[in-house]
Amino acid sequence: MKKALVCGAGGFIGGHLIKKLKREGYWVRGVDIKPHEWSPKAADEFLLLDLREQKNCQAALTLADGKFDEVYQLAADMGGMGFIHSAETEIMHNSMLINLWMTHTAAEMGVPRYFFSSSVCVYRDMKPGEPEMTEAEAIPAHPDNEYGWEKLYSERMAQAYSRRYGMTVRIARFQNCYGAEGTWTGGREKAPAAMCRKIAEVEDGGTIEVWGDGSAVRSFIHIHDMVEGIYTLMHSDLEGAANIGCPQYVTVNELVDTVAQVAGKKIHVRHVEGPVGVQSRNFSNERMYSLGWKPKVFLKEGIELTYPWIEAQVKAARGK
């Protein structure tokens, strides 16, 4: 039986990845600084560890019998645009320490295959209508935020350790991911979850606030497609970073309309000042397509899968 370690197992994507690895027949250890709120028992074993410290990375990677076949590094101090812009030093400090020690310790302990979760935040801002950007175009680098710089540095560090230690490294640059069991409140939630929450909270005909004028272009990938993409990339021969995203591009206003439609509510929008992030996104997913992976869940269907879960959380929180 193959053994996998998932770092960031208490988080959104890590939690879903554990379920995927279990379906594939793996023995899985999860590690995180906090337990998973909704699926705490998905992994065979779950260790509460702060991965900013090397001794904890060593403990995470140590097995009584043998070694891990695969390590998935998804632990990060992260959140949506509001968090990314207000917690620059925490992101650069905490995520950097996690990646520094996990990459170094995994390589030293002879991990054969290592996955690193990067982000499309490594790319510069784009103008609407610009042609698709490929992975190679991340350099020369001009990320919009410090989160992107940290990811870029950690990508390069993983590749350097791969060259020195012969550890196979796979790097994915995730687009904005959403789905059930994702952060939906508290300031770290991303746009799809935030819109679902806001619309679930108001009455039919009510008004919600949206940061910026709503014209920023985004694409959102549903968690089902994301975990399939991670698994496919990890088991491929693809060297270098690969974007994992959905080729459906929408404005933030269109995202709001889609959520309102799924919720069956008429919603008014008040545009307010806020951290919008980049104006536009348009990435090539060709490297992932070359592996036979393609996203299957487009925005309307993805929101249909997500909105009822967030609505239930909103109702449960009100009942408390």
Q: Which residues contact 104 (CB under 8 A, 6 or more apart)?
A: 54, 57, 161
Q: Which residues bind ligand NAD (CB under 6 A)?
A: 8, 10-14, 32-34, 50-52, 74-78, 94, 98, 117, 119, 174, 176-177, 183, 190
Q: State the CB neighbour count (10 A cutoff) for residue 54.
A: 15
Instruction: Please report how close the Cβ of residue 136 comes to ligand NAD at its closest, in angstroms.
Output: 19
Q: Which residues contact 157 (CB under 8 A, 6 or more apart)?
A: 99, 100, 103
Task: Tell me, yes or no, if 153 is annotated catalytic.
Answer: no
Residue 174 vs 307, nearer CB to ligand NAD: 174
Residue 114 vs 174, nearer CB to ligand NAD: 174
The sign of the dihedral angle between the CA atoms of 211, 214, 217, 220 is: positive
Residue 172 vs 267, nearer CB to ligand NAD: 172
The catalytically annotated residue of 72, 123, 147, 161 is: 147
- Residue 85 sits at the vertex; the CA angle it makes with 79 and 86, to the nearest 5 degrees, is 85
Residue 94 vs 313, nearer CB to ligand NAD: 94
Instruction: Please report how close the Cβ of residue 271 comes to ligand NAD at its closest, in angstroms.
Output: 23
Q: How far apart are CA 182 and CA 261, in angstroms?
A: 21
Residue 53 vs 286, nearer CB to ligand NAD: 53
Instruction: Please report how close the Cβ of residue 50 comes to ligand NAD at its closest, in angstroms.
Output: 5
Catalytic residues: 147
